[in-house]
Amino acid sequence: MIQVKVSMKVTREPLKRTPVVLKLDADGSETPPILTDHEGVASFDLPPTSGKILVSGVERFDGRLDGKIPIELWSITQSEHDSKGLPGEFPVGSNAYPSMTTHAFTVEGREILTDSEGYLVDPSDWSEEFARTLAAHEGLTLSAEHWEVIRYLRASYAKHGTQATVRDMIAHFRRVWGGEQGSNHGLHQLFPRGGPQKQGNRLAGLLRIKGEH
């Protein structure tokens, strides 16, 4: 039995109903896709072998297929060529996949792509001008407070390698701004389209993660 467990690296949340395919080295054949169950596991009734694991059509593993193999993703649109997003390192590389719906923004003479929700397809395309352009598209004029949050989110990601939680944001900005402005309500007033962990992360050029709220 070969089992593949697919989950989000940051939240440990299992990815359910996600197609997994094994490509076998012996003859180059591929198994029919198996959808992951409620625990994020796809099971194949095969003996140990060698090959590749494709999750949603993207290669995620190459090597010995035996027992339970964990596949952890930083982003549900993560490309196999992405940086791992380790502390001090922002993810780079295109997250595009064949059926992705994208939107193009012109930023300082360059075409920058986002996904359908406004997250950068390639996080390395982020710039302050991109943040201003996306904010204007979302009906937001960036104030000094918005920039404080954006810079906090990027600095936190650079330090820890993960997006800051809403709890972390509230604790930080209550210290900086005081109880009301730094509260969950105050932060959501600043970022009305999804709050600081969605709209804030989009504007900060950070990846979308499953389980955002």
55 and 120, same structural domain?
no
Supply 118's token pair. 């406004």
What pLDDT score was predicted for residue 29? 86
Do 192 and 107 fall within a single domain? yes
Residue 140 lies in a domain: yes
Position 28 in a domain: yes
Q: Is residue 40 part of a domain?
A: yes
Would you say residue 125 lies in a domain? yes
Residue 91: C-alpha distances to residues 30, 107, 160, 163, 202 (Å): 30, 20, 13, 12, 14
**Is residue 79 domain-resident?**
no
**Looking at the structure, do residues 53 and 135 belong to the same domain, yes or no?**
no
Residue 165 lies in a domain: yes
**Both 106 and 177 in a single domain?**
yes
Give yes or no: residues 187 and 121 share one domain: yes
Angle at 164 between CA 212 and CA 150, to 5 degrees: 100
Domain count, the chain: 2
Residues 69 and 113 in one domain: no
Residue 19 is predicted with a pLDDT of: 92
Q: CB of 96 within 8 A of CB of 70?
A: no
Q: What is the pLDDT along the chain (213 residues), one digit of tens a residue?
A: 999 999 877 667 888 888 999 988 777 789 999 999 999 999 999 988 888 899 888 888 888 888 999 988 765 555 544 444 444 566 667 777 777 789 999 999 999 999 988 999 888 899 989 999 999 999 999 888 899 899 889 888 877 778 899 999 999 999 989 889 999 999 999 999 999 989 999 999 987 764 443
My answer on whether 175 and 106 are in the same domain is yes
Which CATH number is 13's domain given? Answer: 2.60.40.1120
What is residue 212's predicted lDDT score, i.e. its pLDDT? 43
What is the predicted pLDDT for the residue at 78? 53
Backbone conformation region of residue 2, classed left if phi is above 0, alpha if psi is from -120 to 50, else beta: beta
Shared domain for 61 and 113, answered yes or no, is: no
| Structural domain of 27 | 2-73
Claim to verify: residue 26 and residue 64 sit in the same structural domain: yes
Q: Do the beta carbons of residue 76 and residue 11 sit within 8 Å?
A: no
Tell whether the torsion through CA atoms of 171, 177, 180 and 185 is positive or negative: negative
The answer as to whether 209 is a domain residue is: no
Q: Is 192 among the domain residues?
A: yes
